[in-house]
């Protein structure tokens, strides 16, 4: 119990200390017009206040990841708490803040465009493909997961197909309509429900005295799976998630002033980390490792959510908590498709003011997603985890390059970038969905790739700064510099 409470306190302190430090390193400029005003179009570029933007950002980034991921990560024991806390403060929140703020400085650009600008033109095409793949997987996972939970709360005659169809209809509307029509109006309500349900479960764990284990570095996974790299891909959205890099630009196009960024981007990641802590603690406190593993194998994380909610809050409170959990994936799935539409539109340079331009880009995405719903959830989650952390890796390298080219403290981005590069490549070299190399070989190969990435980074920075100092190729990291309020 002490570990759990201390971890939440550390997360909150992290927001007020390290979050402030990261903001100072970046250097906000409130006199600059944000894209919400400089590129206002009434569809995606729409100014909204901090409270609405914060709730939308939280719901955008907090799909089933900070619940399902930590529940599955609970199999490893309290070591999961360490990754959630320190990963969130020093990696995930930094990742979210930098991607959101760099996007604000560059017309609300999405990650593929930013990767092309800061890492090289080839990266734009690679990251574009990665982002679309990730968003399709997210949209699909965030259809099937809430559908399973809704099915338990509705009469038996309402089939899964009907529920999935209804979710897709909502997704289409939220993807097509201006951001302030559905998302801007409903998300603050959904956000309140999410926070109340999470705090309800967390408070019940404390008040009812459930035995939350104290910190230990011991790997308690009943299957003996290695902590590194699997834990760091299993718990992604609650600590570090590339999916967030696809969502932050949505809000970078609605943010009114740069000084709102720490609360919106860094702060909401900290709040997501608290939600992840609550569900990881619930998984450990209410189930033994073997029992948790059996339930996960039989009914997936959704079964744990149901059991935890009813056990801690009773029938009525538990049902409300489940509804709060259902809101999470649905409110990330809709913005996943919205983000995919925006990324494709930016890539092929098609304006989105006309409804038909939005329709012909978005509909093929929904057709592909419907086909993907036929694939087993566990398989989808493995590919999602890999694509997710690969995207986080690229986003952190983008953030490091942005800071380095301005001669600012890039270590706040490059250290987590190197860590997740090592973890991601170890996974793909060793995993069943990857090259299936022995783990020792995977460690060595990932270490070489990480070192090579760092060397390439430093060489590129040195070359670009030298070219800029000589006057041959001046560095322009921000756009619309002359547009001020």
pLDDT by residue (tens digit) across 186-220?
777 777 777 787 888 888 888 888 888 888 778 88
Is residue 288 scored above 90 in pLDDT?
Answer: no
Distance CA 89, CA 424 (A): 19
Mean pLDDT in residue range 354-364: 85
Averaged confidence pLDDT in the chain = 86
pLDDT by residue (tens digit) across 366-389?
888 877 777 665 666 667 778 888
Report the range of poorest mean pLDDT among 329-338, 394-403, 409-418, 431-440. 329-338
Using a pLDDT cut of 90, give the percent of the chain over it.
Answer: 37
132: pLDDT confidence band, cut at 50, 70 and 90?
Answer: confident
482: pLDDT confidence band, cut at 50, 70 and 90?
Answer: very low
Give the residue, 132 or 290, on which the prediction is more confident: 132
Query: Which stretches of 258-288 are DSSP H helices?
Result: 261, 268-286
Distance CA 361, CA 274 (A): 36
Is residue 155 scored above 50 in pLDDT?
Answer: yes
Helices (H) and strands (E) in the chain, counts: 20, 0
Any residues with CB less than 8 A from the CB of 279 and at least 6 apart, and which? 66, 67, 70, 71, 74, 198, 201, 238, 308
Report the range of poorest mean pLDDT among 181-195, 266-280, 404-418. 181-195
Question: What does the buried/exposed string (b/e) look like for 290-307 if buried means 16 or more CB atoms within 10 Å of the residue's CB?
Answer: eebbebbeeebbbbbbbb
Mean pLDDT in residue range 142-153: 77
pLDDT by residue (tens digit) across 429-469?
998 877 889 999 999 999 999 999 999 999 999 999 998 88
The pTM of this model reads: 0.88
Place of tokens 């409170």: 317
pLDDT by residue (tens digit) across 314-324?
877 777 777 77
Mean pLDDT in residue range 274-293: 85
Q: Are 226 and 439 a contacting pair, CB within 8 Å?
A: yes
Is residue 485 scored above 50 in pLDDT?
Answer: no
- Count CA within 13 A, CB hemisphere, residue 230: 18
DSSP string, 236-263: -TTT--THHHHHHHHHHTT-S-GGGHII
Any residues with CB less than 8 A from the CB of 81 and at least 6 apart, and which? 3, 4, 7, 215, 277, 280, 281
Report the range of poorest mean pLDDT among 6-20, 62-76, 410-424. 62-76
Is residue 89 scored above 70 in pLDDT?
Answer: yes
pLDDT by residue (tens digit) across 226-259?
899 989 988 888 899 988 998 899 899 999 999 9
Q: Which domains can be identified in the chain, with CATH numbers?
A: 2-399 (1.20.1740.10)
For 16, counting Cβ atoms within 10 Å of its Cβ (0-12 exposed, 13-18 middle, 19+ buried), the class is exposed
């Amino acid at each position: 119990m002490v570990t759990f409470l201390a971890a939440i306190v550390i997360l909150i302190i992290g927001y007020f200390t390290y979050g402030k430090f990261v903001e100072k390193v970046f250097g906000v400029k409130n006199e600059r017009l944000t894209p919400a005003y400089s590129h206002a179009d009434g569809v995606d570029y729409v100014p909204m206040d901090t409270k609405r933007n914060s709730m939308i950002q939280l719901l955008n980034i907090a799909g089933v990841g900070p619940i399902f991921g930590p529940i599955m990560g609970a199999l490893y024991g309290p070591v999961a708490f360490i990754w959630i806390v320190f990963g969130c403060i020093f990696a995930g929140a930094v990742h979210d803040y930098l991607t959101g703020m760099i996007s604000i400085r560059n017309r609300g650009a999405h990650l593929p465009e930013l990767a092309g600008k800061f890492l090289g033109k080839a990266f734009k095409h690679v990251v574009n493909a990665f982002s679309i793949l990730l968003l399709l997987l997210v949209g699909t996972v965030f259809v099937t997961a809430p559908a399973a939970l809704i099915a338990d709360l509705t009469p038996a005659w309402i089939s899964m197909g009907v529920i999935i169809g209804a979710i897709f209809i909502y997704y289409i509307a939220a993807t097509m309509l201006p951001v302030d029509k559905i998302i801007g109006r409903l998300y603050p309500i959904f956000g309140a429900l999410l926070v109340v349900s999470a705090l309800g479960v967390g408070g019940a764990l404390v008040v009812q005295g459930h035995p939350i284990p104290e910190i230990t570095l011991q790997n308690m996974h009943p299957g003996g799976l290695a902590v590194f790299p699997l834990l760091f891909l299993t718990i992604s959205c609650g600590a570090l998630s590339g999916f967030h890099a696809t969502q932050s630009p949505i809000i970078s196009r609605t943010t009114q002033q740069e000084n709102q960024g720490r609360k919106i981007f860094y702060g909401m990641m900290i709040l997501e980390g608290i939600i992840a802590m609550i569900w990881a603690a619930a998984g450990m406190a209410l189930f033994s490792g073997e029992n948790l593993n059996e339930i996960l194998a039989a009914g997936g994380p959704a079964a744990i959510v149901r059991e935890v909610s009813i056990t801690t809050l009773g029938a009525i409170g538990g049902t409300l908590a489940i509804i709060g959990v259902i809101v999470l994936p649905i409110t990330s799935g809709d913005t996943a498709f919205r983000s995919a539409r925006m990324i494709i539109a930016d890539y092929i340079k098609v304006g989105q003011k006309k409804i038909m331009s939005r329709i012909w880009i978005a509909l093929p995405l929904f057709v592909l997603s419907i086909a993907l719903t036929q694939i087993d959830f566990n398989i989808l989650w493995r590919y999602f985890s890999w694509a997710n952390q690969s995207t986080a890796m690229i986003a952190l390298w983008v953030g490091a390059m942005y800071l380095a080219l301005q001669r600012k403290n890039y270590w706040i981005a490059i250290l987590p970038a190197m860590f997740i590069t090592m973890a991601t490549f170890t996974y793909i070299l060793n995993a069943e969905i990857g090259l299936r190399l022995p783990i020792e070989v995977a460690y060595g190969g990932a270490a070489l790739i990480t070192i090579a990435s760092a060397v390439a980074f430093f060489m590129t920075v040195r070359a670009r700064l030298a070219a800029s100092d000589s006057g041959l190729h001046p560095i322009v990291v921000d756009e619309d510099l002359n547009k001020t309020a």
